[in-house]
Every structure is written in C-alpha cells, then in structure tokens.
Amino acid sequence: MSQSTESTTESNPFTKPGFIIAAALVVALIAAAIVIFLLPKGQDTAQPAPAASPGSTTAAAPTKSADAAGKSVCGLPSSTETALGTAPKSKWELVGKMAAPTDPKTFGPGVTDGDGFRSCFANSPTGALYAAANIVSLGSSGTQDELKLADKSLVPGPGRDAAMKAAKTRTSTAGSGETAQVSGFLIKSYSPTEADVDLAIKLPNGALAHSVLSLRWVAGDWKVKASDDGQIFNGVAQLSDLSGYILWSGV
C-alpha cells in the first residue's frame, strides 16, 4: 500500500510499451498480480452489468443483412443489439492453455489459418466479446508470432506501429506452464464501430484481475485499439471477487 504511484508504474508490465499479449502474457499477468495487490482495493471497480432489455435473448438475433460498415469479412451475420446482459452459451476450445469461445458460423472466429491465428468476428456485442477473449487467448498461447499478432490484431496507426517495432526488437518468451483464464465480462460500451470489453481474469494463483480492451470495427473485423506507445490493456486492477461481472468461463 505504501508503494508510490511512480514505482508501481515502473514495475507494472501492463504499463510498459509493446504487445504484451504475446507469448509472455501469463508471465506478465502473474507479475502484474503482485503489483495490483498493492493498489488500493476498490480502485477502478467494476460497474454492475446493464439489465437486459425486454425481449432480448442471450445471443443477439442476427439481421438478414448488414449495412456496409457492419459486413463481416467472412460473412458472419451482424446484429441490431447494442448490449449484452447475460452470458452467451458458448463452446470453448483451448488455445494453448487458455480457453477461448468459438462459434464459427455466428459469432466467430470465422477464420482460423494454418498457424492457428483466429480472426473474423461478428458485428455484434457477442462478436466483440468473442474477439476480445480470442485475442487474449492467442497472445497467451506461446505459439503465435508476436509480430503477426500485432499486425493482424491491432487497429492501424501509431499504436500498432509501436507494437510492431517492439516485437521486432524483442526476443519472444514462451509462456509459463500455467495460464490465466477468462472468468467474466462486462460490455462497458458498444456501437457497431466501437466497443469496450472488460474481461475479468483468474490468475494461476487464484487471484482475480481485470482489464478493458477497446475494439474498433476495421475492414470487416474487430481489432484492438492500442495506445500510441503500443499498450493494449486499459485500467488493469485487482478484483476482490466477481461481483458486478457477468460470469462466463470455459473451465
């Protein structure tokens, strides 16, 4: 508790430049857990999940067609929903050692290439959620090329450029034998072109943390908006429990 803000920033791996959800994500999360438990409890606490609108369903019903901005690059259906108040019923697959949701015909990933890179998610709140969880899982797998992850997963601009530059100069580190797992979520904001997805993560030691991934709809898919120095995580903080989050997990 006595640690200064300056020293916390210096030691917190989430505040350092680079595409941290590459193979070293699990190591970074574990290290961050040590730091975030020194932060005041209740800092950046989660807000209650929004109530589902009357008549809404767990999985948003797709529209028959999407406008040009909402068309998925691989033809997945879009949705007119703007919120997600309950957990989708999901099939989960291990990506490395982290479970990722999969529904290739409705929410994504609609495309998995020969290297195991997963892309193409639906233009819907559930599609944005699936994109966030899959991108984090890819980064933790230890099998993905960090440069490719940055190039394919980030919104074009200074943030992606910084992440790719860092990836070129950094020796990739294989993930640890343990991994974190998604335990819950909140869709903090959503429009057909922008989404903020708050993921609650259970660390290997049982501790809970959370972070927000900001997504943008670019060329028919969801991509992560990185800050100008290449950071992709926002508001990393300790969670004492999952109160206020929608429980959602593949393990």
Return the pLDDT at 69. 61
What pLDDT sits at residue 167?
Answer: 81
**Mean pLDDT for the chain?**
77
Segment 34-77, tens digit of pLDDT: 333 333 333 443 343 344 333 333 333 333 333 456 799 999 99
More confident residue, 142 or 17: 142
Task: For residue 178, give the DSSP letter.
Answer: S
In the block, which residue shows the tokens 């800050």? 227
In the numeric block, which tokens belong to residue 170?
């950094």
Q: Which two tokens stand for residue 125?
A: 């709140």
- Give helix 25-36 / helix 125-140 axis angle, nearest 10°: 100
Residue 2 has pLDDT above 50, yes or no: no
Of the candidates 216, 22, 250, which has an alpha carbon nearest to the alpha carbon of residue 121? 216
Q: Does residue 104 have a cis peptide bond before it, meaning omega lies within 30 degrees of 0? A: no
Residue carrying the six token digits 């067609």? 65
> In whole angstroms, what is the distance from residue 184 CA to residue 202 CA?
9
* Whether pLDDT at 1 is above 60: no
Q: What is the dihedral of CA 41, 243, 202, 209, to 10 degrees?
A: -30
Could you report the per-residue pLDDT of 183-233, keeping only the tens digit for each?
999 999 999 999 999 999 998 888 999 999 999 999 999 999 999 988 888
Query: What is d(CA 239, CA 80) in angstroms, rounded to the nearest whole number?
Result: 32
| pLDDT at res. 242 | 98
Report pLDDT digits (tens) over 69-111.
679 999 999 999 999 999 999 999 999 889 999 999 999 999 9
pLDDT for 155 equals 97
Residues, the chain: 251
The alpha carbon torsion through 203, 104, 89, 226 (nearest 10 deg) reads: 40
Distance from C-alpha of 246 to C-alpha of 72, rounded to nearest angstrom:
26
Phi, psi (5° rounding) for residue 105?
-100, -15
Say how far apart CA 205 and CA 189 lie, in whole Å.
Answer: 30
Q: Would residue 26 be called left, alpha or beta, if left means φ above 0 and alpha means ψ between -120 and 50 degrees?
A: alpha
CB 208 within 8 A of CB 199: no
Higher per-residue confidence, 116 vs 142 = 116
3-state secondary structure at position 13: helix
58's tokens: 């767990």
Give tens-digit pLDDT for 107-133. Answer: 999 999 999 999 999 999 999 999 999
From CA 19, how far away is CA 159, in angstroms rounded? 10
Q: Which residue has the tokens 């020194």?
A: 38
Distance, C-alpha 97 to centroid of its chain = 16
